Amino acid sequence: MSRPRVAIAHDYLTQRGGAERVVLTLMKAFPEAAVHTTLYDPEGTYPEFRQAEVRTSALNRIGALRRDHRLALPLLAPAASRMRIDADVVVASSSGWAHGFDTGGRTRTVVYCHNPARWLYQTDEYLGGAAWRSPLGPPLLAMRPILKRWDRHQAGQVDVYLANSRVVQRRIRTTYGREAELLPPPHGMDASAPREPVPDLSDWDPGYALVVSRLLPYKNVDAVIEAVRGTGRRLVVVGRGPEEARLRATMPDNVRLFGGLSDAQLRAVYGGAGALVAASHEDFGLAPLEAAAFGVPAVALRGGGFLETVLEGETGLFFDRPEPEEIAAALTTSDTHGWDADRLRARAEEFGEARFIDRIRLIALGEGTA
């Protein structure tokens, strides 16, 4: 009997983040699978995707959409519906679109859900305030009833839903009426791999605070910057996004922002950090696990996915609101806590890549040891 033909689907490959790292792991789990996506910007995402067979929608011909996928929001549902995938099994990494690709009705579809579409069900949070104040808000609000019908219809065609966290597990149940197995994603950071120094950090000693995040309003990076403004604490921010220009415009001298670092450079930045700061509302708390792999504790917002990955007092500390004063206080407490680097690394190992690959292969193909 021949092996099932597997395809991988993802919303868009235009940035670097946890969802894209999951796709890289799926490529290891299913090395012969092509990757289907609406938009692909090789310069904006991880270089490893150049090694894959990436198939894109017609929207990919428009450079402006590759550079900023949010501009394509009104077009992504019809584009996704026209993305035809010919395979026996589709494993989709989805936060709003990839579960809607056309699989012909006879293909087994397994969706690894990062979150039901945030722009549909958490619109104000996604846009960073009242939707009507954003240029994208009015057209999105006008289309939201149609898009919700499309989204829920496509979700009903899925064979298996997997959730990356308990928060998302509940949202899948509430939004789609579907039960989903909990399968935390791998953290994807190998602390033993080579490191490459970042030249613009050569004059800073280790021990700085670190933020690794997309630069979006709900990530609260501005609050972290305010927490260190006027202090002797140094802060490194690693990320890209629509908030970058605004953040740079008022950034104090004790904050440095880097976008587009290689993985080797990111490993060096993690290795030199004294604490990771995670101030956003996350569905899964991935960055604290990446930091823990380097023996670095986290100072995180008490809520969402961070409650599933940060062990208070063992691998990190919590603050209750994403306000500069609370973040600063938590960092001060972390300075004198006395962290156990071996315990931190052991926590990261609980979310290793091998465990994820074994489980996803078992679910998709019936192969594995678990």
Q: Are residues 155 and 253 in the same domain?
A: no
Q: Are residues 258 and 112 in the same domain?
A: no
Q: Are residues 163 and 245 in the same domain?
A: no
Is there a contact between 290 and 270 (Cβ–Cβ < 8 Å)?
A: yes
For the purposes of burial, counting CB atoms within 10 Å of the CB of 81, is it exposed (0-12), middle (13-18) or buried (19 or more)?
Answer: middle
pTM above 0.85, yes or no: no
Q: Are residues 54 and 135 in the same domain?
A: yes
Cα separation, 274 vs 208, in Å, equals: 5
Q: Are residues 151 and 243 in the same domain?
A: no
Q: Are residues 24 and 162 in the same domain?
A: yes
Model confidence pLDDT, tens digit, residues 103-137: 987 789 999 999 998 878 877 666 666 666 666 66
Q: Are residues 45 and 100 in the same domain?
A: yes
Q: Are residues 209 and 160 in the same domain?
A: no
Query: Model confidence at 229, in pLDDT bands (50, 70, 90)?
Result: very high
What is the predicted pLDDT for the residue at 369?
Answer: 41
- Tell me how many domains the chain contains: 2
Mean pLDDT score, 189-213: 95
Is there a contact between 110 and 363 (Cβ–Cβ < 8 Å)?
A: yes
Nearest alpha-carbon partner for 113 in 161, 147, 178: 161
Q: Are residues 26 and 165 in the same domain?
A: yes
Domain harbouring 112, CATH code: 3.40.50
Model confidence pLDDT, tens digit, residues 331-359: 999 999 999 999 999 999 999 899 999 99
Domain containing 80: what range? 6-186+352-365
Q: Are residues 179 and 214 in the same domain?
A: no
Model confidence pLDDT, tens digit, residues 260-282: 799 999 999 999 999 999 999 88
| Mean model confidence pLDDT for the chain | 92
Domain harbouring 303, CATH code: 3.40.50.2000
Q: Are residues 52 and 157 in the same domain?
A: yes
